[in-house]
Amino acid sequence: MSSTPLMPDDRRSLTARLTGMQYIVASLFAALAIGFWIFQVAQHEKFREMAEENHLRRLPLPAPRGVLIDRNGKVLVDNRDSFNIALIREQSHNVEQTLHILALATNTDEAQLRETVDRHRRDPPYRPIVLIENASSEQYIAVWARRWELPGIVPQQVPSRKYPGSDLAAHVFGYVGEIREDQLQRTEYSGIEPGSIVGQAGIELAYNKVLMGTDGTRMVVVNSVGREIGQPIGEELPKEGRRLQLTIDADVQQAAEDGFAATGFNGAAVVLDPRNGEVLAFTSLPAYDPNAFAGGIDRATWNGLNTDELRPLSNRALQGKYSPGSTFKMAVGLAGLEEGVITPDFHVFCGGGQTFYGRFFKCWQKGGHGSVDLRHAIEQSCDVFFYTVGNMLGVDRINKWATLFGLGVKSGIDLPNELQGLVPSTEWKAQNTKEKKWYAGETISVAIGQGQVSVTPISLAVYTATLANGGTRVTPHLVKAVDDGQELRPVPPPPPQSQVDVSHEKLQAIRDGMWLVVNGEHGTARRAKIDGKDVCGKTGTAQVISNQGRTSARTTKNLRDHGWFTFFAPRDNPEIAGVVFLEHGIHSANAASVAKHILETYFAKKEGRPLPPAPTRDDMHLDLRDPFARSTAGVEGNN
Amino acid sequence: MFERRLYFHIDWLLLGAVLLLAAIGLSMIYSTTYVTLPDGTGHAGPRFWVQLYAVGLGAFALALFLAVDYRFLAEHSLFLYGALVLLLVYVLAAGVRAGGSQRWISLGHFNLQPSEFGRLALALILAMYFGENRRGARNYGDLVIAGLFFVVPFLLIAKQPDLGTAVTLVPVCFGIAYLAGLRLRLIAIVAVVAVLLAPVAWKVALKDYQKLRVETFLDPEKDARGAGYQQIQARITVGSGGLKGKGFMKGTQGQYKFLPVAENDFIFSVLAEEQGFIGVLVTLGLYLFVILRSLEAARVAKDRIGAYLVGGIISGFTFQVIYNVTMSAGLAPVKGLTLPLMSYGGSSMIATLAAFGLILNVKMRRFTN
């Protein structure tokens, strides 16, 4: 074996170079050690958390919302188990393809699925995105059958809302839906995770905090593809939302809805207990089926609800502003009495109309009512009497008393988005119109609830209740008691909005007139009479268009008059008061028929008698003659 | 040819450190590839057993390369080199494909990766060339010839494609030339040219996936679900280990497969996670000991061939260790470069142990003629 031994020169140079290498290697290793020290010791906490986030998953266990029961304990809104189909993106190799297959398998709109995923693109990839809420059993089976082609698609069992069916009391309950972006920003929703279901209307919205409950969580260990490993390492069970007892009486509510159904009209009804403001029935039609929202509403239904000309999503009882018509006359009468302008015995001669400020105002009764006092003017809804009283009062004193009794102001009901009507005054006109100056002639129309006067059905119900209970403007409310975990704890009724200082004697004259409306010989709502119950009420017709306008417009269905009937009973010690509003109901007497069914149901239930059956169309004795034929000369008059 | 007295000159400490590192690697492979059954029981994964056999075969190779005089091997290095080139050509022609590259020769039950032996063959032939020509590496003509020896296997390996392994030939070449007296001025010039040529190389030579790796390294968050994923996970794995580690088989990152191919490229990350900074220091210390001790062997080598051989081998080894450990902490672009002695991989283990056989060989024969 040959070899070249190292010469001394060579060795010196080699040694120097080897030493250089040793230094370089040693310093590189020192640098590595420092690098590891920085990660493992200095920044350990940060990476420890990241590792935990990697392999620990907090799965939400959604809490059922609180059950809603009626004043007698009957369950109105409950929960049921439903299936959601969700996508966990980090488990899906190809989201596009997964969505494509899912859309085919479940017969859903692929574009909508993609849109949903896109909306949640900033969520962490392990958080399930609910693609199909409330999946049908066919969809569930289809997904299960193709589960190998659908990695990342998981079914979730979730509690979802179950409403009594169809659209019963839909506007009371409202509906639930996924929390919106703008809601997430607000403080009252702090702590609520994106994707959570919250109330979006009605009681569900107003009492969302109470109803929502607390979601539970389950901690699981997952591997890098998101598969759960072993048993959950921690579990916190969800806490159901609190049970709410509503003031609603399911039977009275049903009666109101049945009454409407029999007439075929849309509209609104509010029935109160005038003693405390408890809402016994509350309806607004057309409505919607809240069940359609419970499991996530599909786009077609949602668009349909929003574009429907009849606006089923709008709550007419709170948001509809209509001319009160003759139901306004009690306010004018009371103002006359309280301001000392008239006494109950004040008589006016009605010859079928009268001229004020150079203009002829006609009474709805062509032949006139002859000489009438306050009581009979209310009974027969004599326009001339109230033209006269209104003219004596002036608009501001009418405004004062109408406002005191709750017209033109908000009722303060515990439902969201209430609007307020309008009772005009000189001040209002000065501030809100171009014309600014109030003309005395305008007061004449206001005196019979026309002109600029507008009210919401709820405010008219409060007005009636205030007349009934002697001047306490009660605050309507829907919640009677809240479950505190052990039992239903009554919620004290909200304090009245105001207490009107009114003479009992003078108020009684108004009530007498309202009694005559139903029970008198010439009453305009005799069909609402119930023997022994002393039902009091007042009809009103709200014109949708002036008579002049009507002649020029081609008459269509949606120009027909609205019908009002406001009522309370019994006359002495009233315990039920309310209002029925029939949209384009033509005649106020038709509204009185609905009210009668409500009242009969209420009293039958109270006295333990069998409840009257749901009325048929014939039972309603509807008067559908469109009074278009009546003379269009002169100014509006109504009954 | 193995005289009894040579036995007393074996560097037992170096050999012990090398085997200890292999044992640490084995235990980490055991930990990451352990198979847990649904009923809670489990057993060692197949890769652990493969690695154990590889260590056994490697020990045999080590003994073989220790027993045969390194000068004999150097003299026949042209033959060994030629055999390697033929194997590499064969791989390209009829090798086994896996994961998009063709690197292996099937030998029935297992696959042989000839490229892992490239460093050995190259070190032998270059040590022989520079050791015998008396001029060292001062002559440019010699450097060109050395460059040709380097470039043939380099291209063959890069073509597989396996740029990671091919690149490990560079430090071998460079280490030998450096010890053989490569002018420092030339090193400086090469460095400057390399920097100037880098943009050109970027445009011309690198494949898209390689560019992506570099880009991702510079900004891992940019592609956190794709190429940056491994890098981010590597940092999390290392950082979450802390000072003392999560414990043997208790690392969540490695156990739950957040770190891909943990038993291979990222075995050091697993060690850092489960054994913590203390385990890292001990292991890095062992590696440093092995390297410095080997450089000592070069210093005391009897002849230039021995010194260059050790220098070349240990340069390649050092480069791999430093690069892989840096990558394990997510501080270098992810590249298929294994950690010698610890990463899973039979050919790598056998070749590395054989290489240490040669180093021990040089040191053991420092007094013989």
Domain of A99, CATH number, reads: 3.90.1310.10
Average pLDDT of chain B, as a whole number = 87
| SS3 call for A229 | strand
For chain A, the straight-line distance linking the first and the last C-alpha, in angstroms and rounded, comes to: 133
Structure confidence at residue B98 (pLDDT) = 80
Q: Summarize pLDDT for B11-39 with one digit per residue, the tens.
A: 999 999 999 999 999 999 999 888 877 67
Judge whether A26 lies within some domain.
no
Same domain for A260 and A168: no
Q: A21 and B322: CB-CB below 8 Å?
A: no
What's the residue count for chain A?
639
Percent of chain A whose pLDDT exceeds 90:
50
Taking residue A8's Cβ as centre, other Cβ atoms within 10 Å add up to 7
Structure confidence at residue A375 (pLDDT) = 94
pLDDT band, residue A634 (cuts 50/70/90): very low
Q: Cβ neighbours of residue B50 under 8 Å, at least 6 residues apart?
A: B110, B344, B346
Structure confidence at residue B226 (pLDDT) = 58
Please classify residue A268 by burial: count the beta carbons closer than 10 Å to its beta carbon, then call 0-12 exposed, 13-18 middle and 19+ buried.
Answer: buried
For chain B, the straight-line distance linking the first and the last C-alpha, in angstroms and rounded, comes to: 12
Q: Summarize pLDDT for B194-231 with one digit per residue, the tens.
A: 888 877 877 777 777 777 767 766 666 665 555 577 88
Structure confidence at residue A158 (pLDDT) = 81
Judge whether A158 lies within some domain.
yes
Q: Is the pLDDT of residue A156 over 70?
A: yes
Instruction: Report, as an integer, the average pLDDT of B104-108.
Output: 83
Same domain for A208 and A323: no
Q: Summarize pLDDT for A188-242 with one digit per residue, the tens.
A: 888 887 778 899 999 999 999 999 988 888 877 777 666 667 677 778 888 889 9
CA distance A18 to chain B (A): 7
Same domain for A461 and A570: yes
Name the residue range of residue B209's domain: 4-364
**Category of B341 on φ-ψ map: left (φ > 0), alpha (ψ -120 to 50) or beta:** left
- Six token digits for residue B88: 């590499």
Structure confidence at residue A632 (pLDDT) = 40
Quote the CA–CA distance of A155 and A178 in Å, as a whole number: 18
Structure confidence at residue A630 (pLDDT) = 44
Same domain for A261 and A234: no
Judge whether A10 lies within some domain.
no
Q: Is the pLDDT of residue B292 over 90?
A: yes
Same domain for A411 and A449: yes
Quote the CA–CA distance of A465 and A421 in Å, as a whole number: 17
Q: Is the pLDDT of residue B7 over 70?
A: yes
What's the residue count for chain B?
369
Name the residue range of residue A90's domain: 57-246
DSSP notation for B56-85: HHHHHHHHHHHHS-HHHHHHTHHHHHHHHH
Quote the CA–CA distance of A192 and A184 in Å, as a whole number: 7
Number of domains within chain B = 1
Chain A positions touching B305 (Cβ under 8 A) are 3-4
* Block residue for tokens 């009794």: A405
Judge whether A639 lies within some domain.
no
Same domain for A266 and A231: no
For β-strands A244-246 and A68-69, DSSP reports them as: parallel
Summarize chain B as % helix, strand, coil (round to 5): 70, 5, 25
Instruction: Report, as an integer, the average pLDDT of B314-341.
Output: 90
Q: Summarize pLDDT for B151-197 with one digit per residue, the tens.
A: 999 999 988 888 888 999 999 999 998 888 888 888 888 888 888 88
CA distance A95 to chain B (A): 14
Structure confidence at residue A381 (pLDDT) = 93
Quote the CA–CA distance of A595 and B164 in Å, as a whole number: 88
- Six token digits for residue B30: 């055991």
Q: Cβ neighbours of residue A72 under 8 Å, at least 6 residues apart?
A: A249, A250
Q: Which of A355, A436, A438 is nearest to A396 (CA)?
A: A438
Count of A-B CB contacts under 8 Å: 142
Instruction: Report, as an integer, the average pLDDT of A574-600.
Output: 92
Q: Summarize pLDDT for A472-523 with one digit per residue, the tens.
A: 999 999 999 999 888 889 999 999 999 988 999 999 999 999 999 999 999 9
- Do B90 and B104 meet the contact criterion of CB atoms below 8 Å apart? no
CA distance B38 to chain A (A): 8
Q: Where does a domain end: A246, A265, A284?
A: A246
Going from the C-alpha of A452 to that of each of A41, A285, A328, B23, the distances in angstroms are 77, 25, 12, 95
Angle at CA A478, nearest 5°, toward A477 and A479? 105
> Which is higher by pLDDT, A579 or A86?
A579
CA distance B306 to chain A (A): 9
Chain A positions touching B301 (Cβ under 8 A) are 6
Judge whether B325 lies within some domain.
yes
Q: Is the pLDDT of residue A555 over 70?
A: no
Give the E-state strand segments of chain B in sequence order.
Answer: 35-36, 42-43, 96-98, 101-107, 110-112
What is the H or E stretch that residue A218 is in? strand A216-222
Judge whether A21 lies within some domain.
no
What is the H or E stretch that residue B241 is in? helix B227-241
Quote the CA–CA distance of A384 and A376 in Å, as a whole number: 12
Please name the residue of chain A whose CA is at the shortest distance from the CA of residue B277: A40
Chain A positions touching B266 (Cβ under 8 A) are none
Same domain for A229 and A117: yes
Q: B311 and A18: CB-CB below 8 Å?
A: yes
Structure confidence at residue B138 (pLDDT) = 72
Chain A positions touching B186 (Cβ under 8 A) are none
> Which is higher by pLDDT, A3 or A579?
A579
Same domain for A261 and A216: no
Q: Which of B89, B145, B88 is nearest to B119 (CA)?
A: B88
**Facing B252 at nearest CB: one of A35, A51, A225:** A51
Judge whether B369 lies within some domain.
no
pTM of the model: 0.66
Strand partners, A322: A455
Strand partners, B107: B110
Q: Is the dihedral of CA B248, B249, B250, B253 positive or negative?
A: positive
Residue A39 DSSP label = I
**Facing A5 at nearest CB: one of B284, B295, B303:** B303
Quote the CA–CA distance of A545 and A533 in Å, as a whole number: 36
pLDDT band, residue A119 (cuts 50/70/90): confident
Percent of chain B whose pLDDT exceeds 70:
93
Same domain for A260 and A239: no
Same domain for A453 and A389: yes
Q: Which of B135, B137, B151, B149 is nearest to B184 (CA)?
A: B137
Quote the CA–CA distance of B10 and B62 in Å, as a whole number: 12
- Quote the ipTM score: 0.92
Structure confidence at residue A631 (pLDDT) = 40
Instruction: Report, as an integer, the average pLDDT of A298-317.
Output: 85
Number of domains within chain A = 2
For β-strands A176-178 and A197-199, DSSP reports them as: antiparallel
Q: Summarize pLDDT for A448-472 with one digit per residue, the tens.
A: 999 899 999 999 999 999 999 999 9
- Do A152 and A92 meet the contact criterion of CB atoms below 8 Å apart? yes
Same domain for A608 and A506: yes
- Do A171 and A153 meet the contact criterion of CB atoms below 8 Å apart? no
> Which is higher by pLDDT, A157 or A399?
A399
Judge whether A22 lies within some domain.
no
